[in-house]
Structure 1
Amino acid sequence: MNAPASRLVPGTVFDADACARFANLYPEQPGKIAHGLVGHPLFELESLVALSQRIRPVDVEQNLADLPIEVDPSTVQHNGLSVAESIRSIEANGSWMVLKFVEQDAVYRQLLDEILDELEPVVTARTGAMIKREAFIFVSSPNAVTPFHMDPEHNILLQLRGSKTMTLFPADDPELTPGALQEEFHRGAHRNLPYRDEFLAKGQPIELTPGEGLYVPVKAPHWVQNGPATSVSLSVTWRSEWSYRESDAHAFNRLLRKAGLNPAMPARHPGQNLFKAYAWRALAKARRLTGNPEPQ
């Protein structure tokens, strides 16, 4: 039997105060928590270059970062550089990039588990088991913009180098993310969202500096403006049975809408959306058994 790997993080990532803070926030309240990953060698630029060569090329996204808050993803331009060149020259090349699903690498998978294991007791008690643990590393030029979007996971963004301001919006506001839009999102539509100037008053700008993290609830819309220096940040995410039920309820709503109905929005936590979620799963299972494709 192989000996267990030594820890990558000496001590803890989150101290007692940070864990208590997370417990007060999770799962529906956004807010900052402190972390102890600043200066970790796995996030030095050369370490990230090496990581980028070990993960699948499809899991590296990079583009020019002088973007508006709302953008059609089809118009975003590649920066024309190799991945290694993009990382090494990030201070001056005006780019935004992300290394996706870095848990596919054994070392970063261990690091992700060390981070999330510290929070798992709170998560399990509130929303059930931590499902589908994933991690994403963002490397961004000064003043880069990440456009208005939402993500399907529970997420903590940990700032490691430089600063950024995330403007965060309520996850349960139907004006920002109406039911029909969410239904298409759960069918694979792009994460980017329409944005109007009227939304501004609903947003909360939150600045992150090294050593600060931000818990972002499932599908809370947000956009990000980097500060005046190169930024490196780590996003650690997970799904829960609750989040999958909410997603499945939106899928079932899409069928109801196609039938001419106007279904109520699925409930946020602590609602469980059991009827719609299980109805959708039963339909999906029946289609698999009969070989019929999912209705469009």
Structure 2
Amino acid sequence: MTARSPIAPAADAIFPDDARAAFAAAYPDQSTKLHHGLIGHGLLTLDALATLAERMPAASVEYNLGKLPLGVRPEDTPSNGLTLGETIRTIDTNGSWAVLKNVERDPAYAALLDAALAELAPIVADRTGPMLHREAFIFLSSPGSVTPFHMDPEHNILLQIMGIKTMTVFPARDQHLVPAQKSEDFHGGGHRNLVWQDGFKAHGTAVRLEPGDAIHVPVKAPHFVENGPTVSVSLSVTWRSERSVAEGELHSFNALLRKRGLPVGTVSARPEAQGIRRLIYRIMRKLGA
């Protein structure tokens, strides 16, 4: 029997063979545009998502007015004055942005997440080990909405389902964009939004996403999103890895050292290999330091 290639396509693949090949060439450190087969999926219509949102716990949803500056403090983000269900059902006219978090807690959406990530798991395992802590998020945006400049702690693929948006992605691990202390604060529970400077824009790559397009966003690669002239719906499938966990541990270790006035260490491009520093951090955390 011939061994199956890590990028061999399935007959009903969510990610076709060219998308899997592009992902394999880019993962884990480079952003790349992909394609997918989830346009028109029944779980991803506005009615289905409004129904899902109304049964989700309050801690798993976030929504606000959508026309924001690229750099905005979390406490300055304005409410839209609507319920979440109203926000989704009238999102074509209410000027809002919403995210449904951890939709994999619903069995139907968990199956969709598992189907998508199963196609990529062999590629991921070969580079950064098994997929850990798999999650799914759904983003809904009114025409003209802006998601401010921010970063996320997961490996992420954003699949565009409805509408058009432009995501501008910046290199990960660029301390000019994300100073070391911001990473340390972030891994200690700080907000994902970043300080924006107009000079940053020249360092980013703008990627137009139409229905059927997707984009791989590396761990903590800064980005912002500008929605087009119609309602946008996007599905984000994410996972952690030993690499992303290790990076978080090392930045948290540096935060402890900095707080005590001690020299901090460098977080390398392969933090999972920095075993001694990770062990020291775990010991300190266990001892209550």
**TM-score, scaled relative to structure 1:** 0.92
2: CA distance between counterparts of 1:270 and 1:183?
A: 14
Instruction: Evaluate the alpha carbon distance shift between residue 107 and residue 124 of structure 1 in structure 2; reply closer, same or farther with a 3 A threshold.
Output: same
Deviating beyond 4 angstroms after TM superposition, the runs of 4 or more aligned structure 1 residues are none
Q: Does 1:27 align with 2:28?
A: yes
SS at the partner of 1:50?
helix
SS at the partner of 1:172?
coil
| Cα deviation 1:56-111 (Å, max 9, x = unaligned) | 12211110011000001101111111111101100000000000100010110011
| Cα deviation 1:148-175 (Å, max 9, x = unaligned) | 0000000000000001111111102111
Q: Does 1:68 align with 2:76?
A: no
1:273 to partner: Cα distance: 2.5
1: CA distance between counterparts of 2:282 and 2:147?
A: 34
Which residue number in structure 2 is paired with residue 5 of structure 1? none
1:117 to partner: Cα distance: 0.6
1:265 to partner: Cα distance: 3.0
Structural RMSD (CA): 1.4
Please list, as runs of the form range in 1=range in 2, the aligned pairs for 1:166-185 lying within 5 A after superposition.
166-185=167-186
SS at the partner of 2:112?
helix
- Tell me, yes or no, if the aligned pair for 1:246 and 1:272 is still in contact at 8 Å: no
SS at the partner of 1:236?
strand
1:240 to partner: Cα distance: 0.4
Q: Which amino acid in structure 1 is aligned with residue 244 of structure 2?
A: S
What fraction of aligned residue pairs are identical, expressed as a percent? 51
1:262 to partner: Cα distance: 4.1
- Tell me, yes or no, if the aligned pair for 1:141 and 1:229 is still in contact at 8 Å: yes
Structure 2 residue ranges without an equivalent (≥5) = 1-9
1:11 to partner: Cα distance: 1.2
Q: Which amino acid in structure 1 is aligned with residue 146 of structure 2?
A: V
1: CA distance between counterparts of 2:11 and 2:59?
A: 32
- Tell me, yes or no, if the aligned pair for 2:242 and 2:272 is still in contact at 8 Å: no
| Cα deviation 1:225-282 (Å, max 9, x = unaligned) | 0011100000000000111011100111112222324424301237633222221112
Aligned length, in residue pairs: 280
Which residue number in structure 1 is paired with residue 38 of structure 2? 37
- Tell me, yes or no, if the aligned pair for 1:97 and 1:140 is still in contact at 8 Å: yes
- Tell me, yes or no, if the aligned pair for 1:139 and 1:233 is still in contact at 8 Å: yes
- Tell me, yes or no, if the aligned pair for 1:67 and 1:145 is still in contact at 8 Å: yes
Structure 1 residue ranges without an equivalent (≥5) = 1-8, 288-293
| Cα deviation 1:135-159 (Å, max 9, x = unaligned) | 0000100010000000000000000
Which residue number in structure 2 is paired with residue 18 of structure 1? 19
- Tell me, yes or no, if the aligned pair for 1:246 and 1:273 is still in contact at 8 Å: no
Instruction: Evaluate the alpha carbon distance shift between residue 214 and residue 228 of structure 1 in structure 2; reply closer, same or farther with a 3 A threshold.
Output: same
